[in-house]
């Protein structure tokens, strides 16, 4: 999750929202905090893309798709990328179930192999999955990623010698509010993470300590502005949503080079930060 970002999948707001009218119709049903502003969302996304491209990443764009809604701007969630191909998810949020098939079709068009697909009772979302290293995948057990989903991931990743470590998440504000594992932690280097410590499960905190991973704490007042959702473009080279000055100062003190963008329309309304907006497919 921290090697140099080479290739990444995004979706433009205009292709996710489809029209201002559709965005206005969907935002309440999908539990957004408010309706995104169409023009500002497009402008803010372009600012974000510029940071990725300047850092050397090739950007692939998901096309518009009738099976998806405004949540599809958050391309991180419907899939997991491994060294052997992509695992396509059945999302825990029912309204997002079309995103996995839409992602799979796009991957086939790009010639990117698909390793497996979660079906039946198994649900998972990318926001609950954190690669601690190349052979250790943390899997948040949440309202979005269930027990059968984690077991299916173990079946798929076991032959790749990947250990899937379940991490139980708290109830927090209930099933209608998104609480992913990455709501409390983002990896920024092999030995550095930004965290909201109050939400860290004790076994995960102890594992991070055992691994010698330095923790940069997000203050209470910056949790809701998504300060824990930080995307690594390379080790200690990161991008975050503007408006989290204390966290930024702490990241820079830990040796990070920080870029910022305006996330007020593409991040805050849907509670998805820069990591959520991206599905990295090649790092290294």
Residue found by looking up tokens 């049903």 in the block = 29
Q: What local confidence, expressed as pLDDT, does residue 173 receive?
A: 86
The pLDDT, as a whole number, for residue 127 is 98
Mean pLDDT of 267-274: 97
Q: Nearest Cα to 97, choosing from 114, 81, 118?
A: 118
Angle at 223 between CA 36 and CA 209, to 5 degrees: 135
Q: What integer pLDDT is reported at residue 3 of this predicted model? A: 98
| pLDDT score of 263 more than 90 | yes
Q: What are the tens digits of pLDDT across the range 8-46?
A: 999 999 999 999 999 999 999 999 999 999 999 999 999
Higher pLDDT, 176 or 182: 182
When pLDDT is cut at 50, 70 and 90, the band that residue 178 belongs to is confident
pLDDT for 176 equals 80
> What local confidence, expressed as pLDDT, does residue 211 receive?
97
103 pLDDT more than 90: yes
How high is the mean pLDDT of the chain?
97
Tell me which DSSP letter residue 242 carries. S
pLDDT of residue 174: 86
Beta strand 136-141 with 163-168: parallel, antiparallel or unpaired?
parallel
Q: Which residues contact 100 (CB under 8 A, 6 or more apart)?
A: 78, 79, 88, 89, 90, 91, 117, 118
**Rounded mean pLDDT of 266-279?**
97
Average pLDDT value for residue range 261-270? 97
Question: Looking at residues 187-191, what average pLDDT do you find?
Answer: 98
DSSP code string of 7-43: EEEE--HHHHH-SHHHHHHHTTTTT-SSPPPHHHHHH
pLDDT in tens, 47-85: 999 999 999 999 999 999 999 999 999 999 999 999 999
- What Rg value do the Cα atoms of the chain yield, rounded? 17
Percent residues over pLDDT 90 in the chain: 98
Q: What is the pLDDT of residue 124?
A: 98
Tell me: the pLDDT tens digits for 192-221? 999 999 999 999 999 999 999 999 999 999
Helices (H) and strands (E) in the chain, counts: 7, 15
Rounded CA separation 253/49 (Å): 26
Q: CB count, 10 Å around CB of 56?
A: 11
Strand order in the sheet with 163-168: 129-133, 136-141, 163-168
Instruction: Determine the pLDDT at residue 177.
Output: 83
Model pTM?
0.97
């Amino acid at each position: 999750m921290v090697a140099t970002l080479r290739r990444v999948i995004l979706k433009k707001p205009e292709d996710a929202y489809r029209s201002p009218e559709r965005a206005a119709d969907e935002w309440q049903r999908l539990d957004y905090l408010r309706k995104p502003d169409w023009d500002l969302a497009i402008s803010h996304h372009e600012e974000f893309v510029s940071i990725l491209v300047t850092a050397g990443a090739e950007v692939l764009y998901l096309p518009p798709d009738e099976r998806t809604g405004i949540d599809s701007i958050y391309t991180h969630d419907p899939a997991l990328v491994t060294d052997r191909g992509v695992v396509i998810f059945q999302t825990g949020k029912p309204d997002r179930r079309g995103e996995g098939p839409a992602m799979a079709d796009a991957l086939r068009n790009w010639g990117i192999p698909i390793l497996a697909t979660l079906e039946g009772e198994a649900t998972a979302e990318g926001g609950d999955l954190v690669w601690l290293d190349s052979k250790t995948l943390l899997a948040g057990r949440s309202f979005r990623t269930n027990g059968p989903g984690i077991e299916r991931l173990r079946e798929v990743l076991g032959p790749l010698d990947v250990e899937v470590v379940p991490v139980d998440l708290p109830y927090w504000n209930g099933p209608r509010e998104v609480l992913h594992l990455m709501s409390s932690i983002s990896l920024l280097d092999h030995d550095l993470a930004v965290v909201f410590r109050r939400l860290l499960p004790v076994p995960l905190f102890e594992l991070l300590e055992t691994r010698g991973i330095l923790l940069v704490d997000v203050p209470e007042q910056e949790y809701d502005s998504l300060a824990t959702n930080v995307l690594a473009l390379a080790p200690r080279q990161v991008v975050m949503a503007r408006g989290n000055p204390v966290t930024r100062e702490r990241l820079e003190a830990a040796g990070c080079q920080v870029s910022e963008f305006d996330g007020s329309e593409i991040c805050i309304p849907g509670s998805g930060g820069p990591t959520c907006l991206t599905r990295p497919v090649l790092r290294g």
